Amino acid sequence: MSQYAFNFLFITGSFAIYLIIALWTRAGSTSEFYTAGGGVHPVVNGMATGADWMSAASFISMAGLIAFVGYDNSTYLMGWTGGFVLLAMLLAPYLRKYGHFTVPAFIGDRFYSPAARLVAVVCLIIISTTYVIGQMTGVGVAFSRFLEVDNTTGLIIGAAIVFFYAVFGGMKGITYTQVAQYVVLIFAYTVPAIFIALQLTDNPIPAFGLFGDTQDGTPLLVKLDQVVRDLGFSSYTGHHTDTLNMVLFTLSLMIGTAGLPHVIIRFFTVPRVKDARYSAGWALVFIALLYLTAPAVGAMARLNLIQTLFPSGTQSEPIDYQSRPEWMQKWELTGLLKFDDKNGDGKIQYYNDANKDYAAGAAARGWNGSELSVNQDILVLANPEIARLPQWVVALVAAGGIAAALSTAAGLLLAISSAISHDLLKGAINPYIEEHHELLAARIAMAVAIAIATYLGLNPPGFAAQTVALAFGLAAATIFPTLMMGIFSKRVNSVGAISGMVVGLVFTVVYIFIYKGWFFISGTNSLPDTPDNWLFGISPVSIGAVGAVINFAVAYAVSLATAPPPLEIQALIESIRTPRGAGAALRE
């Protein structure tokens, strides 16, 4: 059987499972559409949350970013996992106790203001739309390679699958589909990692193999450090970027994670408050299976890539282009891997030509610059082929990458749909809308959101993980501070909350757009996206942490200058924070 046949079988087989689940769990009410009826078991919800959380950025991009940068990109691991702990401890149980369908609904009630609810809807749509671009990018990358179709066709196929199970199933269909997607993606991620760890280190546990020895007795990380330095790259295990941005970026990812609406609403699907805590705990267990494996996947993939390009082990003897392996030929067809024979010798020169000292030595050997361009998003998907693993493993990874992208895309699209139908239509425009009309509006909103997300996925502003990082920055600067103040401060009022969200959103969006120059604004960067041009040297992907501080400061300053919240709102806050039954023994 050919590799294409394996890919087609695994991908279409997984799609068939998702569609069967969608038919079985079709939502028949708004409660089922928004919160799956509130009866999801904590373990099931934890697994679905893990799939919802581990997006294309986690599955496809994260290990690729770590592979090409090393230690400095461990910020993705620290920020995303740390943020989930914040969400589980500080937000999820309290929001579940309040018992609303959506995040904007809580903000509207807590700050006793339809305007606050509307601003939260705007923030949610911007965050979720930015995030879903990364998922659609990942879908396009996976389809274009493994089904050998163009990027546009791949996106349309993926969008059609999401449309079917998300529009008809709502949160109920998405929940149980995500359970299946988690099983697919975790096997797809860990199985090839185990194979490769055994090949390189004789250790079947990738996380342990990362710190083990290779076949020649050299520690894997020592060997990787050596080969990347030999090619003019910075050491893999060293810290080479500025600490300020590393801290701010990690913080931005952490508090952005805790403010992501599509993850928060997962905790509204369980029956009780304590189930929300259990769900969070189980989700961390399921997430850890991938996140503990990711650093090993990145390091081993980078080592295998370099050894493929220099099979003799000598950097002065690169591989002939005509002798390149089949996986390179396949990825070249997607445009995500490119070779430019600058000196016409037919060999693939691959090194860091930005390193002037190394480039000067390479020029003396007749090399005119690095000739290979590798998109970071392809490394995890190409990893089994680089390591020459069996065809079924390659196909499994293809199905896993698509499952990761589709699972998160569905959650994001549901968040957008819920905000439009429940918070905007019912909450602001027509409070007396009948339930079946609201359900129809939710499905129409979902369909429109899918169409827009597909279009934006064709023109992403960066790698999947980088695009997602911008969404985290927006969530950090808007939703997270507002929820924290809404739960833990009795003094912040509606005027303060609205002011904080608006200022945090505007500041962060403007700063990002100044340097990223997204395609639908100008097609080019407004200013060079370099440290010399950044405000106080702060990267656009790190600015969310600053936006959060500004949100907090503005909200408190405005609240202190205006009237405090009504007494009934302060009592509401107290009831949210106080466990049910607390103080009963004293009252007796």
Angstrom distance (rounded) from CA 286 to CA 179: 11
Residue 580 has pLDDT above 70, yes or no: no
pLDDT for 296-323, tens place per residue? Answer: 999 999 999 998 888 877 766 788 889 8
If we measure between CA atoms, which residue out of 556, 457, 478 comes closest to residue 140?
Answer: 457
380 lies in some domain? no
Residue 520 has pLDDT above 50, yes or no: no
When pLDDT is averaged across residues 322-336 and rounded to a whole number, the result is 86
DSSP per-residue letters across 372-396: EEE-GGGHHHHHHHHTT--HHHHHH
When pLDDT is averaged across residues 43-57 and rounded to a whole number, the result is 84
If we measure between CA atoms, which residue out of 359, 382, 414, 366 comes closest to residue 305?
Answer: 382
Categorize the per-residue pLDDT at 545 as very low, low, confident or very high, splitting at 50, 70 and 90: very high
Paired with 213 in beta bridges are 219
Residue 254's Cβ-count burial label (10 Å; 0-12, 13-18, 19+) is: buried
Residue 510's Cβ-count burial label (10 Å; 0-12, 13-18, 19+) is: exposed
Tokens 């079924």 locate to 392
58 lies in some domain? yes
If we measure between CA atoms, which residue out of 486, 475, 552 comes closest to residue 508?
Answer: 475
Percentage of the chain modeled with pLDDT above 90: 26
What pLDDT score was predicted for residue 469?
A: 66
377 lies in some domain? no
pLDDT for 334-361, tens place per residue? Answer: 778 899 888 888 888 888 887 877 777 7
Taking the CB of residue 574, how many other CB atoms lie within 10 A of it?
Answer: 10
Residue 565 has pLDDT above 90, yes or no: yes
Residue 2's Cβ-count burial label (10 Å; 0-12, 13-18, 19+) is: exposed
What pLDDT score was predicted for residue 85?
A: 84
Extract the tokens encoding 202: 């004789």
What pLDDT score was predicted for residue 257?
A: 86
Angstrom distance (rounded) from CA 51 to CA 497: 32
What pLDDT score was predicted for residue 192?
A: 93
pLDDT for 113-148, tens place per residue? Answer: 999 999 999 999 888 887 887 777 777 777 777 777
Angle between helix 435-457 and 168-201 (nearest 10): 40
Residue 501 has pLDDT above 90, yes or no: yes
54 lies in some domain? yes
The end-to-end CA distance of the chain, in Å, is 75
3-state SS assignment for residue 338: strand
Higher-pLDDT residue of 56, 433 = 433
Angstrom distance (rounded) from CA 76 to CA 250: 7
When pLDDT is averaged across residues 274-294 and rounded to a whole number, the result is 88
pTM for the whole thing? 0.83
**H helices present in 58-167, as ranges:** 63-69, 75-86, 92-98, 103-110, 114-146, 151-162
- In sequence order, what are the residues at sequence separation of 6 or more whose Cβ sits closer than 8 angstroms to the Cβ of residue 239? 71, 72, 246
Residue 582 has pLDDT above 50, yes or no: no
Instruction: Answer whether 119's CB lies under 8 Å from 555's CB.
Output: no
CA distances 240 to 244, 246, 319, 375, 458, Å, are: 12, 10, 30, 21, 33
pLDDT for 456-489, tens place per residue? Answer: 777 665 544 456 667 888 899 999 999 999 999 9
334 lies in some domain? no
365 lies in some domain? no
What pLDDT score was predicted for residue 587?
A: 36
What pLDDT score was predicted for residue 294?
A: 92
Q: Which domain holds residue 184?
A: 3-301+385-577
What pLDDT score was predicted for residue 537?
A: 87
Quote the radius of gyration of the chain (alpha carbons, Å). Answer: 24
**∠ CA 385-387-389, rounded to 5°:** 65
When pLDDT is averaged across residues 476-504 and rounded to a whole number, the result is 95
321 lies in some domain? no
Angstrom distance (rounded) from CA 548 to CA 298: 31
Instruction: Answer whether 406's CB lies under 8 Å from 162's CB.
Output: yes
CA distances 406 to 15, 290, 374, 403, 453, Å, are: 10, 17, 24, 5, 12
Percentage of the chain modeled with pLDDT above 70: 92
What total number of domains does the chain contain?
Answer: 1
Angstrom distance (rounded) from CA 319 to CA 217: 25
Q: Residue 36, by phi and psi: left (phi above 0), alpha (psi -120 to 50) or beta?
A: left
287 lies in some domain? yes
Angstrom distance (rounded) from CA 468 to CA 471: 5
- The b/e string for 529-538 (b: 16+ C-beta within 10 A; e otherwise) is beeeebeeeb
What pLDDT score was predicted for residue 333?
A: 81
Categorize the per-residue pLDDT at 151 as very low, low, confident or very high, splitting at 50, 70 and 90: confident
What pLDDT score was predicted for residue 583?
A: 42
What pLDDT score was predicted for residue 523?
A: 46
- The b/e string for 239-252 (b: 16+ C-beta within 10 A; e otherwise) is eebeeebbebbbbb
Instruction: Answer whether 456's CB lies under 8 Å from 133's CB.
Output: yes
Residue 560 has pLDDT above 90, yes or no: yes
pLDDT for 222-267, tens place per residue? Answer: 999 998 888 888 899 988 888 899 999 999 989 988 888 888 888 8
If we measure between CA atoms, which residue out of 485, 416, 428 comes closest to residue 111?
Answer: 485
CATH number at residue 258: 1.20.1730.10
The beta strand positions in 223-371, using DSSP E, are 337-339
How many Cα neighbours within 13 Å face the side chain of 360? 2
DSSP 563: P
DSSP per-residue letters across 88-104: IIIIHHHHHHHT-SSHH
